[in-house]
Amino acid sequence: MLAIQRGAMQVISQVLTGHNLNEVLARHFRSYPKLEPAERAAIQDICYGTLRHLGQLRAYLRALLLKPLSDRQLEFLLLISLYQLAYTRAAPYAIVDHAVRVAEKVGTGGGKGLVNAILRNFLRRRDELATSAIRNDADRYSYPAWWVRLLRDTYPDDWQAILEASNTHPPMTLRVNPRRTTTADYLRLLAEHGIAARHIADEAIQLLEPVPVSRLPNFAEGWVSVQDYGAQLAARLLDLHDGLRVLDACAAPGGKTCHMLELADVALTALDHDADRLERVRENLVRLGLSAEVLQGDAGQPASWWNGQAFDRILADVPCSASGVVRRHPDIKWLRRSDDIAQFATQQAEILDALWPLLAPGGKLLYATCSVFPQENRAQVDAFLARHPDATLLALPGNLEQQLTPNARHDGFFYALLAKP
């Protein structure tokens, strides 16, 4: 457990100083190649859990300390240890013992005794702290205060449910490749392999318990992909049929790109500005046996990559705050700042304005985000319609709401379907 606690502390210290959780975890595992799979899984679980409940854990720590800590490493160690004590089944004595041993190696003078005292005090006062230390909604739901205020103002009846859903473990949802098998047949195959699952809709199957992709039958052969049900809606909303020219304007890592190609024989261009992430698109295409033109380029600057041929369909899955997928990326809520939303909105408007001339008459553009903030969603679309009188906002098929909020079936997404006469 010593390597687990020290590793989790190191990862959390980097994330809370401004670095992406997945990237930090990947670097840590490369730096310690001898870690066992179980140790890697434990480090990842502790880091995700600590970030998911960070506001509450900080509230506990404030209540337990006589004065703020000057040693940030000890602070991070205490936070991950409090998470373990509050939310895992690991033996409390082992958590405390290993935390003390880590403190002895990384802390300044007195760190060992302080860590021991704080953690044992938490165990004695745990029930009382659960009420006395939590002073506001930011502590209670473990979100920055500005985030809570924005959701409360936007969703006066649902803000608590959105925050609670975003603090849960996300469901694992599969997308069946209809070019390889049927949803019914894959459900039977999962059952034969002892994997419990249920059909949601169309190609979407949700597992009752997550499993490694290595356990999914015929995953390597392209029968199925992992993709949230909310994300799977994009391809369906675009009204695809054979022969169309389609642009996926912000394509990486390629989930929506591949879904569109699974549904129809279209001439698809997958565009993204990030060359490294485009490799993920190519890998997914190869695994699924699909073909697309893969281009590196900025969706907001078409002059550098567009050949002048108009597209019949455009998916503009634009960069956003990712506030709808926080349960998959809990570092987001601590790395985002309130003024980031306006910056994303500016970038989104630039991309929309740049892509609109690329759409053929009679074509459709689907604007998509994984955000729950209105500045990036309906307000963005309203402003676009005001700038472009030739654009028409269409009702989404199946009476689907534009704004999806996180729940047991899907993450948070926004979709707006725009048509050009």
- Residues annotated catalytic, as ranges: 370
Distance CA 372, CA 367 (A): 14
Going by C-beta distance under 8 Å and a sequence separation of 6 or more, which residues neighbour residue 174? 186, 197, 204, 205, 206, 207, 216, 224, 225, 226, 227
Distance CA 73, CA 37 (A): 25
Residue 201, helix vs strand vs coil: strand
Distance CA 57, CA 79 (A): 6
Dump strand ranges (E) for 193-266: 197-201, 204-207, 224-226, 245-248
Q: To which residue do tokens 């039977």 refer?
A: 188
Going by C-beta distance under 8 Å and a sequence separation of 6 or more, which residues neighbour residue 138? 55, 144, 145, 148
Distance CA 271, CA 292 (A): 10
Q: Is the Cβ–Cβ distance between 417 and 366 less than 8 Å?
A: yes
Candidates 278, 261, 379; CA nearest to 313 is: 261
Going by C-beta distance under 8 Å and a sequence separation of 6 or more, which residues neighbour residue 247? 268, 269, 271, 311, 313, 314, 315, 355, 358
Going by C-beta distance under 8 Å and a sequence separation of 6 or more, which residues neighbour residue 337? none
Going by C-beta distance under 8 Å and a sequence separation of 6 or more, which residues neighbour residue 109? none
Residue 155: Cβ within 10 Å count? 17
Q: Is the Cβ–Cβ distance between 82 and 122 less than 8 Å?
A: yes
175 phi/psi in degrees, rounded to 5: -120, 115
Residue 414, helix vs strand vs coil: strand
Residue 393, helix vs strand vs coil: strand
Residue 39: Cβ within 10 Å count? 16
Q: Is the Cβ–Cβ distance between 61 and 16 less than 8 Å?
A: no
Dump strand ranges (E) for 212-264: 224-226, 245-248
DSSP bridge pairs for 173? 206
Tokens of 205: 């199957």
